[in-house]
């Protein structure tokens, strides 16, 4: 068991210099920026602004859609009452009902 552990440590120790050399190639070496620096360039800032605009439009669209749905479902009886009152006015204008009937039915609808 101890021999296997010793071999594993030796293998890792042998791979360590190679891994460090590869890591140094990726780090700041005086002439090239690290890979994540590109995020803060003009393109990175543009992508962040576009992301903010996108989510702002999504949230605004949801708010407008919900407001429209609430306004449509607020009082459906009002639309029907207005339509019934229009029919009542038409019947009165054609002379089908008297003024007393019109006033009584209008009070019933209100």
Give per-residue pLDDT as tens, 43-78.
778 888 999 999 999 999 999 999 988 887 776 666
Dig out the tokens for 100 from the structure.
Answer: 């007393």
3-state class of 34 per DSSP?
Answer: coil
Reference 91, options 99, 16, 31, 69; nearest CA is 99
Give percent of the chain with pLDDT exceeding 70.
58
Q: pTM of the full predicted structure?
A: 0.39
Q: Are 106 and 85 in contact (CB under 8 A)?
A: yes
pLDDT for 38 equals 55
């Amino acid at each position: 068991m101890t021999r296997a552990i010793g071999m594993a440590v030796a293998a890792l120790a042998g791979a360590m210099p190679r891994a460090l050399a590869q890591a140094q190639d990726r780090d700041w070496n005086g002439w090239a920026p690290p890979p994540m620096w590109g995020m803060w360039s003009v393109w990175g800032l543009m992508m962040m602004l576009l992301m903010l605009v996108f989510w702002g439009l999504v949230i605004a669209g949801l708010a407008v859609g919900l407001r429209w749905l609430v306004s449509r479902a607020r009082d459906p009886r009002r639309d029907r009452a207005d339509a019934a009152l229009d029919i009542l006015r038409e019947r009165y204008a054609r002379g089908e009902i008297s003024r007393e009937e019109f006033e009584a039915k209008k009070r019933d609808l209100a």
